[in-house]
Amino acid sequence: MRFEISKVLDAIEGRVSTDPSLVRAVLDLAEVVRYTDLDGGRPASTLRLGMIMDALSRHLEEDNVPVYAVVHRALLSEADLTSNERMVLRRWADDGLVEVMNNPGDRVLEVADLLGLPVLSRNRYDGLAGRYPWVTGQPGRLLAPLPGAGGPVLVPRVKGAPPAPGGPSPTGRKLLARTWRCREPGCVLFGGEGGGAFADLARIDRKPSGQPPPTLRTGMPTCPRHEHRLIDAGPRPATEVLSVRIGGMVRRRFVVTSERPVVVGRAPEDSGGIRLGQWLNDEARRWISRSHVRFELRGADLIVQDVSTNGSGVRPGGSMDEAERIALARQQSRVMRPGDIVELYPGVQVARANTWTSGGMVNPTSVMAEAPTMAIRLGDRG
């Protein structure tokens, strides 16, 4: 059983992130691990984070949706967690996958406010509605994870059609336009060049473009973890968020930055590559090369280059007219215009994330797939 739990925690690990371009909701980890009514189990369990992630995927009808978790430092030594869970949490903290704070206070709301994201919490935050009017004023911004028949469901505090995601607030945009540096040696969230003594050993390739939003608690941009005022280290490298859509459904998003091109294929060899193999049928698997297309940001231009054996194509402006499809032979490259869709194989597509509205996925992949029966017996209690 311990082995299975480790596998679930690995799956959950793939969906915790502090990268503002990718995360889709914010939560307080110390709160959700204590939702005992979700599974009737131990007083605290990190598997409940997986259940909430699944609930968010079902809510957004999209696969692979990352979550921004704020973690009270005390949770890293919480006796109600198993030693394995504490070890995993410390690793997430060390790798900057989660944000650790001595006193999270209203940080969850601050992050959600700066990034324009929903908060997953059972708190009503009435006392903070003055500072964050969307708590009581905007449908779908505060979502309470509650037990449901098929696993947890997210119940909005304010009912009604949620507004289209507006992205970061004006203040958030200003903060995210800069690279920040913390004077704490080896700060994993706001590290400078070189980082700490063990920077080479970090499992996560953390680039300035993925820095979380600083806290403004002191009135100035501050490292939430070390509480040092941050140094402005210049403009943030440009980023572009792309989506992979297979068979009409968005399977995952990824970020291309001016610092780092990204290869997409059946099973790319480089560590940052986007692996499609798991979603492909046999014919697509035969056609698509291990490394098939490469995306690169050069100045303001997003460039796609074919690196495959069989070639790919671009559908200009998303046109499904076969006559307009532009073939991309091996080693050919092309600047992507707004709305352009790169097609690796019919139905296997990559485009800027805003090209497609999310949703439509009835059965998103569960992070709990490997969970022991005890943890997934959800419906029994709903």
Stretch that binds Zn ion, among 59-67, 179-187, 191-199, 291-299 (CB under 5 A): 179-187
> Binding residue for Zn ion (CB under 5 A) from 29, 97, 182, 378?
182
Cα–Cα distance list, 57 to 8, 31, 187, 251 (Å): 16, 19, 31, 11
Residue 61 within binding range of Zn ion, rule CB under 5 A = no
- Counting Cα atoms < 13 Å in the Cβ hemisphere of 218 gives 11
Position 221, amino acid = P
CB of 209 to Zn ion, least distance (A): 17
Stretch that binds Zn ion, among 2-10, 128-136, 147-155, 183-191 (CB under 5 A): 183-191
Which residue, 13 or 184, is less far from Zn ion as judged by CB? 184
CB of 189 to Zn ion, least distance (A): 6
- Counting Cα atoms < 13 Å in the Cβ hemisphere of 131 gives 11
Considering only CA atoms, which of 182, 177, 280, 164 is closest in space to residue 222?
A: 182
Structure tokens at 16: 């915790």
Q: What mask, x for binding Zn ion by CB under 5 A, covers residues 226 to 265?
A: x---------------------------------------
CB of 141 to Zn ion, least distance (A): 28
Which residue, 162 or 195, is less far from Zn ion as judged by CB? 195
Which residue, 15 or 226, is less far from Zn ion as judged by CB? 226
CB < 8 Å & 24+ apart, contacts of 301-305: 301/335, 301/336, 302/240, 302/256, 302/335, 302/336, 302/352, 303/333, 303/334, 303/335, 303/336, 304/328, 304/333, 304/334, 304/336, 304/342, 304/350, 305/331, 305/332, 305/333, 305/334
Q: What mask, x for binding Zn ion by CB under 5 A, covers residues 187 to 226?
A: x-----------------------------------x-xx
CB of 255 to Zn ion, least distance (A): 22
Stretch that binds Zn ion, among 34-42, 182-190, 241-249, 252-260 (CB under 5 A): 182-190
Query: Applying CB under 5 A, what is the total number of residues that bind Zn ion?
Result: 6
Residue 47 within binding range of Zn ion, rule CB under 5 A = no
> Which parts of this chain interact with Zn ion (CB under 5 A)?
182, 184, 187, 223, 225-226
